[in-house]
Every structure is written in C-alpha cells, then in structure tokens.
C-alpha cells in the first residue's frame, strides 16, 4: 500500500472528485483512480464486467472504504465520513441490482430515503418522498408492494429513493442493465430530465448502447493510470 497522498482541494465548480483512490480484495481492483466531475455534468464510464465500476461507486458513497486516496463532494473532503452522512450532504445512488426494502410499498421505500437519507423532517420529508415518486412516474403505484414492481419500475424506485434524499449528485450503477431497448430509452428520457433539473450524474455501464443513446460525456482522466482499467475509458 502506498502512503496516502496529501489531499488537494479540487477546483471551484467541482461536484465531486476522487484523488488516487485504490481498493483491493486480495487482488487490486481499483488502482490510483482520479476523477473530477464538474457541477451539472453528466458523465458515463463504460467498462467490462469485474473491472471495478461498482467498487468505485461504493468508495465514493462510503459503502466501501478505499485503501488509499481521497473523496470530495464540492469543496468538502468526505473520505472519512460514513455513507449516511455523505448521502445527507447530497450524494445519491442507485444500485446495480435494485434493492427495494421488502414488505414496504413504493411510497414507504421513498419515505425511507427522505427520512433516513436527508436532513428533512416531518411533512417536508413526506413531501420529498411523494415528489420523488412523481418525478420518476411512479406515483400511481405508490401503494404497491415494491417487490411486486417490474424491473423498470424497480429501477425507477431506486431513483425515487435516491431523489427523496435531495441529491446534488447521482451515481447510477448499470441502471439500464437487463432492460429492453424501449424500456431503456424511457429511462434515458427520465435521466435527461433529472440532469436538466441540475443534478450532476455519473453513470457506469458495461455496455455502450444505453449511455451512447444519450451522447453522454466521458471523463477526462488526468493520466492513463487513472482509469479503473489502467487505460483511458471510452
């Protein structure tokens, strides 16, 4: 393991940044990755299975602790903060495999996001949950058991639960995975709307088709060593 590099505050206008992050599970899966995404950007990273995409998102959200490196949200270093605190500061995500809370309705799932993932309380949190369901087009299914939703609606619910936390940054983990082209297209339309409302987006996928249908941007890696694969991503 290398000695931790001195944290450098990222440039003005940064939505989030990682500097020299590394992670290993025996073998190294994320090696010296640095990435800066500016406020309002929508960035896609496409890479093959097992290259470390989900691990990178886990490091940013705090679900996994990097072995080295620093993570920033705007001008605040969040490397040592727990995931819940990072969420309350504006970092939202969707999981690769939708993870609705079993036995709860769609609305109750969004309420968990609002009450547990933000600093909102009472009626403000309830309003945020309902608004999140409206934004993703799920309000008509608010009282359905989340486990009974189809795949596209479970992906929408992942987004709604994240949106209920009032994020400034959304990290999307293979959100189009497993969807047919028409369903993927409707999801891309929704993501464009969210981006248009000012949310910064980092979207990882292992197939190019869905991100390319948006002509989404690609990251500017500071150096060739900085992509998860060790090569600049395309």
Ligand X SMILES: Nc1ncnc2c1ncn2[C@@H]1O[C@H](COP(=O)(O)OP(=O)(O)OP(=O)(O)O)[C@@H](O)[C@H]1O
State the residues that interact with ligand X by CB under 6 A: 25, 29, 47, 49-55, 96, 206
Residue 41's closest CA among 229, 207, 196?
196
Considering the rule CB under 5 A, would residue 70 count as an interface residue with Mg ion? no
In the complex, the smallest distance separating the C-beta of residue 39 from ligand X, rounded to whole angstroms, is 25
- With tokens 């009974």, the residue in question is 148
Q: Which is nearer to ligand X, 57 or 164 (CB)?
A: 57
Give start and end residues of each alpha helix (H) in 136-197.
Answer: 151-163, 181-196
Q: CA 20, 227, 156 angle in degrees (round to 5)? A: 100
Q: How far apart are the first and last CA of the chain?
A: 28
Distance CA 96, CA 224 (A): 26
Considering the rule CB under 5 A, would residue 200 count as an interface residue with Mg ion? no
Residue from 54, 70, 109, 166 that binds Mg ion (CB under 5 A)?
Answer: 54
Q: Which is nearer to ligand X, 50 or 82 (CB)?
A: 50
Distance CA 67, CA 64 (A): 9
In the complex, the smallest distance separating the C-beta of residue 47 from ligand X, rounded to whole angstroms, is 6
Distance CA 159, CA 172 (A): 9
Q: Which is nearer to ligand X, 52 or 211 (CB)?
A: 52
Look up residue 211 and give its two tokens.
């991100």
**Binds 206, which of Mg ion, ligand X, none (CB < 5 to 8 A, cut-off by type)?**
ligand X
In the complex, the smallest distance separating the C-beta of residue 96 from Mg ion, rounded to whole angstroms, is 5
For the chain, how big is the Rg over CA atoms in Å?
17
Task: Give the contact letters, 84-123, x = binds to Mg ion (CB under 5 A), - = no.
Answer: ------------x---------------------------
DSSP three-state, residue 125: helix
DSSP three-state, residue 85: helix
In the complex, the smallest distance separating the C-beta of residue 54 from Mg ion, rounded to whole angstroms, is 3
Q: Which is nearer to ligand X, 110 or 233 (CB)?
A: 233
**Binds 225, which of ligand X, Mg ion, none (CB < 5 to 8 A, cut-off by type)?**
none
Look up residue 10 and give its two tokens.
């990222």
- With tokens 């080295």, the residue in question is 68
Q: Which is nearer to ligand X, 54 or 118 (CB)?
A: 54
Q: Which is nearer to ligand X, 157 or 204 (CB)?
A: 204
Residue 130: count of CB within 10 angstroms of its CB: 18
In the complex, the smallest distance separating the C-beta of residue 107 from ligand X, rounded to whole angstroms, is 29
Considering the rule CB under 5 A, would residue 55 count as an interface residue with Mg ion? no
Point out which residues bind Mg ion (CB under 5 A): 53-54, 96
């Amino acid at each position: 393991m290398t000695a931790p590099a001195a944290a450098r505050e990222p440039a003005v206008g940064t939505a989030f940044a990682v500097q020299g992050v590394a992670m290993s599970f025996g073998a190294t899966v994320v090696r010296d990755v640095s990435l800066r995404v500016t406020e309002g950007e929508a960035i896609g990273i496409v890479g093959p299975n097992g290259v470390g995409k989900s691990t990178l998102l886990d490091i940013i959200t705090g679900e996994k602790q990097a072995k080295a490196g620093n993570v920033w949200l705007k001008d605040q270093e969040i490397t040592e903060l727990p995931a819940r605190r990072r969420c309350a500061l504006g970092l939202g995500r969707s999981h690769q495999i939708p993870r609705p809370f079993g036995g709860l309705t769609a609305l109750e799932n969004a309420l968990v996001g609002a009450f547990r993932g933000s600093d909102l309380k009472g009626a403000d949190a309830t309003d945020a949950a309902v608004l999140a369901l409206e934004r993703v087009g799920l309000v008509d299914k608010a009282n359905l058991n989340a486990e009974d939703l189809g795949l596209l609606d479970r992906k929408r619910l992942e987004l709604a639960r994240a949106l209920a936390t009032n994020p400034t940054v959304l990290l999307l983990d293979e959100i189009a995975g497993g969807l047919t082209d028409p369903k993927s297209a409707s999801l891309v339309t929704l993501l464009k709307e969210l981006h248009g409302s000012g949310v910064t987006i980092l979207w990882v996928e292992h197939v190019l088709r869905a991100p390319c249908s948006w002509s989404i941007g690609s990251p500017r890696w500071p150096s060739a060593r900085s992509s998860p694969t060790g090569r600049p991503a395309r």
